Structure 1
């Protein structure tokens, strides 16, 4: 039996239990488990031919109201496919659309004559009815859609709400798509605030995060934005600006990460240049930049300050692989506070790395 999963022991255990005690399983539970076991086959209700579906579906012709959802399960042998007989839904029975005497006729032929001809003929008609009945339920269940990630409809639905539907993101992006979907509640809000960004980054990186707003910095002015004598708008106290830069406090913020251990601290550093660079070096900084870009869409300038725990500040020694200006402190550091000397412009480092 090819289940398509490679876990034959688990598959056989479930099939044996379903055949031995079918009354212990709910209809949706059993159908979902069977769909997962035969992952190489089409989903229930989507096959073009009944032969493409791993299990034949039918209904036990009974006159009583169904005490259980599933009547029986036969694993099949050789060319004979497996068969699942249900009780809760179908053409037969007191809840079925067929006249009750047809249910009685099919039941009598099956019980007293051992002749399943009429029952199997009706099963030819209702096999797809039962499969579509399950498919209608499964399409509205996000967790069932996740059973087959390549065919996950809710991933497209949720992604469309936050701008990550298929084809929405172009170019390099180091943030996993599922991480964005997990934070769809935060990313889907129209208001983007500091608390939301801090919560998002803290949950993704699993480190303490604090956002410092209104960080002052010098903003360079372009040639057309500077004041020149004789030009329109060069009025003192109204539109004239002295110099090639201005002090700005409203368009920049700072992300504080930490206190961090030395391993986490080094993980947020930019990738080193040269042939000895590790494959994953600079990955967390790239993820940080991509998160901020996606959350703010480039509306603000920002930088990141790394806080290294004071008890993990490494001593400086030649040949230890320390990086000058990033993981080196001359002498013995005696300050009682954590080391927060390093402030990085993540956008500049990541852009330079990707262009190179």
Structure 2
């Protein structure tokens, strides 16, 4: 049975235009400012204009309406993005309800709003409203700048980049534009900065972070046993050392549990399974992500589990690799296939 076709949801800016009441005033202006690609810090784009709300009714949110004046159609997400790339956005009209001169939430008496509404009969409403918009444009602009400067996560640097990102990277003890971990973007390292710098990262927390980042089923099994080869000074030699009763170890190896953990991924589809094979991009991304945490002394055994329907018969000349999800027998009689390898972050 054919599945229903998936429809892409509206973008953030499209949703902002269709449902402005779902956003706060500062959040809406910030999204528009970043969407227009501002390059000057603490200065709003000239195409963003603030209009007075000419109504005495109670506002439903901090933003009453947002409209865009463009020389091309902007009905869809693709048309909206194309208009921005072509520079066809002439003006963005934002009508805030939280700060204004007119309206029920305005700073001026209601009599001025009534007189402005009375000019609608002779067709002078837009001209009178434009005069008040000219007076309030600067004050609303300064209000937004003060709002943004008081919130560090909304600030930008002189190049128009996010100024909060270097702060989060400093918390994570990582410089911006790192070259040592190219598989993990700076935004990802900043997002997990708080938990990555913790002195102790529980297995359940690490498992949740892996699921959140990769979007696949992960299971972290701590205290996985391994053979540890004793150093010469740790060996038990009669008459020389390490012969105290209760601390004698026979042999050159002993099993320990605190140095290794197992990361189980799956069941996976064939594409995801191949993505996490050794030396594949997924394995490199996994090693880089685990390197964000204080796990330098830990080693990981990665277990890739291929789901049963994706196990196929080995065929010569097709690029199949024996032992990596391909079998010589009958695939329908095989169970889930697991592939193990060691990973050092």
Q: What TM-score results when the alignment is normalised by the length of structure 2?
A: 0.60
Aligned to 1:316: 314
Secondary structure of the corresponding residue to residue 294 of structure 1:
coil
**Kept after mapping to 2: 8 A contact 1:259/1:308:** yes
Task: Quote the RMSD (CA, aligned, Å).
Answer: 5.3
User: Which is further off, 29-38 or 282-291?
Assistant: 29-38
Which among 226, 229, 235 is matched to residue 226 of structure 1? 235
After superposition, where does 1:58-69 map in structure 2 within 5 Å? Answer: none
Structure with max Cα Rg: 1
How far residue 230 of structure 1 moved from its aligned partner, in angstroms, is 5.4
Q: Return the alpha-carbon distance in structure 2 between the equivalents of residues 339 and 196 of structure 1.
A: 27
After superposition, where does 1:298-317 map in structure 2 within 5 Å? Answer: 298-317=296-315
1:246-273: CA deviations, max 9, x gaps?
Answer: 22133222111111122211111113xx
**Kept after mapping to 2: 8 A contact 1:267/1:283:** yes
Q: Return the alpha-carbon distance in structure 2 between the equivalents of residues 26 and 302 of structure 1.
A: 45
**Kept after mapping to 2: 8 A contact 1:219/1:245:** yes
Higher relative contact order (CA 8 A, sep 6+): 2
**Kept after mapping to 1: 8 A contact 2:311/2:337:** yes
Which among 127, 135, 147 is matched to residue 145 of structure 2? 135
How far residue 30 of structure 1 moved from its aligned partner, in angstroms, is 7.3
1:156-204: CA deviations, max 9, x gaps?
Answer: 344444x065349551341233334444565465541111111111222
Is residue 172 of structure 1 aligned with residue 181 of structure 2?
Answer: yes
Quickly say closer, same or farther: Cα 1:166–1:242, change in 2 above 3 A. same
Q: Return the alpha-carbon distance in structure 1 between the equivalents of residues 159 and 333 of structure 2.
A: 51
Q: Return the alpha-carbon distance in structure 2 between the equivalents of residues 164 and 197 of structure 1.
A: 19
Q: Return the alpha-carbon distance in structure 2 between the equivalents of residues 269 and 83 of structure 1.
A: 52
How far residue 344 of structure 1 moved from its aligned partner, in angstroms, is 0.6
Is residue 269 of structure 1 aligned with residue 277 of structure 2?
Answer: yes
Secondary structure of the corresponding residue to residue 317 of structure 1:
coil
Which among 333, 342, 346 is matched to residue 343 of structure 2? 346
1:133-175: CA deviations, max 9, x gaps?
Answer: 21121235578559x99522333344444x0653495513412
Q: Return the alpha-carbon distance in structure 2 between the equivalents of residues 328 and 96 of structure 1.
A: 71
In structure 1, the gaps of 5 or more residues are 1-9, 18-24, 76-80, 105-110, 112-119, 272-281, 352-356
How far residue 297 of structure 1 moved from its aligned partner, in angstroms, is 2.2
Aligned to 1:155: 165
